Structure 1
Amino acid sequence: MKKAVILFLLIGLLVDQNVFGQKLTEKKVRKIFRQSEILQEHFVGFMVQEETGSIVYAQHENIHFVPASNTKLFTLLAGLVILGDSIPAFQYEILGDSLILWPTGDPSFLHPKLDNGRVYHFLAKTPYKIFIADQAPIHYEPSYWRPDPAHFPIYANTVNVKGLNTGFFEINPKVMIDFAKPDSSLVLKEFDILRAKTGNLLIYPILPVPESFESLLPFPMDLEMSRFLLQDTLKREIQLIRRNKGKDLGTFYSIPSDSLYKHMMLPSDNFLAEQVLLLCSSTLGDTLDMQRAIGHVQENWLMDLRHPPIWEDGSGLSRYNLFTPNTVLAVLNMLEDRLGDLDRLKALMPAGGVSGTLKTAYELDRGEAFVWAKTGTLKNMHLQSGWLETRKGKRYRFVFMNNNFTRPTAEVRKEMVRIISHLREKY
């Protein structure tokens, strides 16, 4: 009997030691990082948090990093706390025989992956004359390689150019061919078509167009261009008008909000991210101003953070953005609390080995995805922040920020994946 009791106690002790041996601890994570040659060469912020909220390990958690597209986590939070479950396409007023529209920044109209046809059918079938209310210009940093933020985006503010077997090219939407002009001063080694640095032209060199040529490029976008493209699409006259908003405006909604967020987060779409902030701004006031939306979220949702973010845009393209790992982790928790449905939140995130910017970064483990995270990449910077599920059934939130490395990004990404995969397998 005594031997049986001793054996039972020994077995219990071994089981306890085995469970303890597989527990993720601060000491074990620190050892992993110290043994990584790559992570000793640059600036690394890392935090891992248990599902209960307990911090397992933190490194440089209170130091500011350039977050790159981790900024979109903050943009997602803005959408969730300001917008409803559907995206407002425009506000409108019916006055006599006229339908007057106040666009809200909805990017879904004729977007190749977002449009559900509701706005088109509403405008195509209306018996009223259509007017678009002119509004104050949107303030943003100009760029010649990404779509302009806009009051009324159409076709994602891009044109698709394809070479033909005739030695020329075609443009979609076709009406934009009138803006494509040859430029004899443009010297290129091979044919390309570019957005002019000023004005609204698309310019190309006087060179043969390869039949295999294909390019998707942004075109200059303002309310006049929106009016022009909408008129061509609907085949009816559209006019701009100066008019202040009345008191009894209707709102027409286009797509489910989660559809927009998913297409923003999975491929890390910078254009959609800026438009989400404009949509938030239109809900808060009469003008479209990204800083108004950012300020609202900071004052009402991020006011208690130890390190308030220096937050400049919706996409993370600005290097003026500065967030600490602690701040990013706090936003992960806010997103989870706000949605109250982790499965819904995971559906909005790139999934390792499955979707978005993590599709090729991770391999499935036993046929399962185990990491859902927002990536961020700028030159010399790469980040991942999100959720990790382990083989032992544990769930962790993590923030992994790398700044100022000189190695190729692929090497840093591979090391991040190795560490997160190790945590998956062992703990």
Structure 2
Amino acid sequence: MRLKALFFLAWLITSLPTAAQLSRAQFSSLENILGEKSSFSGHMTGFILYDLDSQKVVYEKNSQLNFIPASTTKLFTLFAAVAILQDSTQTLRYVASGDTLKIWGAGDPSWKYQDFFQPDFEKVWKNYQVIQYSDANQVSPAFGYGWQWDDYYYDYSAERSPLPIYGNLLEVKKVGNRPEVFPSRFQKSISTTTLPIKELERDLHTNDFKYSPTTFLGRERFIPLLTSGQLTAELAQELTGKTWIYKKESLPENNQAFRGAPVFPLLQEMMLESDNFIAEQMLWMVSDHLFQTLDTERAIEYIQKTYFFDLPDQPKWVDGSGLSRHNLFTPRSMVVLIDKLYRIVPEDQLYALLPTGGKTGTLKNTFQAAQPYIFAKSGSMSNHYSLAGLVRTKSGKTYAFAFMNSNFLGRPSAIRAEVEKVMALVREVL
């Protein structure tokens, strides 16, 4: 028995994954390009390379430090959506009341947004002429915690709402020297100004707009609308031809849920094009699925306690998109997240979701090579640039990595170019 136990112990030891180690030359190459004399010496840099096969760290530098992740936050949102929503969106909750259908939005961003699959709302309200809409299930405000207030008129900062229509955006087209907008109901809310503004600009507190006929360029195609339950009801009435009434009423427990659209195309747009609006609505749909309320903070708390309790460093995660500067993640927590995604998302789907260097999404014009080797989410804002995902080396191995940079002067594009040099080296030497 003792002999059998010794044989079993020997087998166990030899079958365990061994630590992934770099040769002296490989280590020196990475140290030189990331060291004190490199372009990364003047700001905070964290980098980690993780062997997915052995589940060992190959190389790291400052991977324990916290960084502002910007849009790499969407990797966390992606995991939450895959784990909770699985294959379809949360669209509506509803109850019948005589000849009236009472509905509450569940966060689905699909309705008349881009070319996404449209939920078959007729399944829900075809037998009702009157629809009563409530947004009383909304807990989180329209803007995320830590968003910059003066981003309110840029399309990357569209407001969150329970039942978005048109992505909560106003479409703008230049006709001559004036703007024409859709939905056209807002055309009457446009006035002229003598101020030399170059675009159609919205008032901070209302859906009133101004432009200058002498300086109008019309380059901004979309402007966020100031959302409200009343506006949602009015837009929905125009679209459906039914009578919509806005009344703030609590969601009863005995409601029915309608899951109306496939979630994968939305996730793909969120990741490839870094769509902030979709990312924020994703967390609201997660919250609705879990708690029947639209509460970003509560959804994040649940995901962290349930799925991310084992991260080496608990992140400060506050929104779905990464617009907030309050988000803080470490590179070593990022690679554990990527490893989790690698284990639960089918390989073909994961590669379809991640921007591919030189091919798709936000990496289409960078990390170019005859054979794509970077599959990752980037994130940038003033003085911060991060990249996290998968790198495929010439030896045929695939590694998870996180490369985070903060507090640098100059443009993120300059740091991105240096990051590209490092990842090209990783591809060559590993």
Residues 1:244 and 1:372: Cα distance change in structure 2 (over 3 Å): same
Match of 2:174 among 133, 144, 163: 163
Structure 2 equivalent of residue 148 of structure 1: 159
Match of 2:413 among 380, 396, 410: 410
Q: Which amino acid in 2 is paired with 1:394?
A: K
Structure 2 equivalent of residue 383 of structure 1: 386
Structure 1 equivalent of residue 39 of structure 2: 38
Residues 1:230 and 1:209: Cα distance change in structure 2 (over 3 Å): farther
Match of 2:190 among 145, 159, 181: 181
User: Is residue 193 of structure 1 aligned with residue 195 of structure 2?
Assistant: no
Match of 2:81 among 79, 82, 85: 79
In structure 2, stretches of 5+ residues that fail to align are 1-20
| Percent identity for Structure 1 against Structure 2 | 30
Q: TM-score, normalised by structure 2?
A: 0.86
Worse overlay, 250-259 or 116-125:
116-125
- Preserved contact between residue 278 and residue 288 of structure 1 (Cα < 8 Å): yes
**In structure 2, how many angstroms separate the alpha carbons of the residues matched to 1:23 and 1:85?**
46
Residues 1:124 and 1:245: Cα distance change in structure 2 (over 3 Å): closer
Deviation at 1:360, TM superposition (A): 0.5
Residues 1:55 and 1:211: Cα distance change in structure 2 (over 3 Å): closer
Residues 1:45 and 1:214: Cα distance change in structure 2 (over 3 Å): closer
Deviation at 1:129, TM superposition (A): 2.2
Deviation at 1:292, TM superposition (A): 0.7
Structure 2 equivalent of residue 15 of structure 1: none
Residues 1:134 and 1:394: Cα distance change in structure 2 (over 3 Å): closer
Q: TM-score, normalised by structure 1?
A: 0.87
Alignment of 1:19-418 (within 5 A): 25-34=26-35, 37-52=38-53, 53-114=55-116, 116-122=117-123, 125-135=126-136, 136=138, 138-139=140-141, 140-141=143-144, 143-145=151-153, 146-165=157-176, 167-178=177-188, 180-182=189-191, 184=193, 187-201=194-208, 203-208=209-214, 215-339=221-345, 341-365=346-370, 368-418=371-421
Report how many residues are paired: 399
Deviation at 1:174, TM superposition (A): 1.5
Q: Which amino acid in 2 is paired with 1:79?
A: A
1:74-127 Cα shifts (integer Å, max 9, x gaps): 11111122213100111122232222211101111100132x233354467444
Deviation at 1:199, TM superposition (A): 2.4
Worse overlay, 154-163 or 134-143:
134-143
Provide the alpha-carbon RMSD of the alignment.
Answer: 2.3
Deviation at 1:234, TM superposition (A): 1.3
In structure 1, stretches of 5+ residues that fail to align are 1-19
- Preserved contact between residue 26 and residue 56 of structure 1 (Cα < 8 Å): no
1:31-68 Cα shifts (integer Å, max 9, x gaps): 33238621122111000011221111011011111111
Residues 1:183 and 1:163: Cα distance change in structure 2 (over 3 Å): closer
Residues 1:206 and 1:369: Cα distance change in structure 2 (over 3 Å): closer
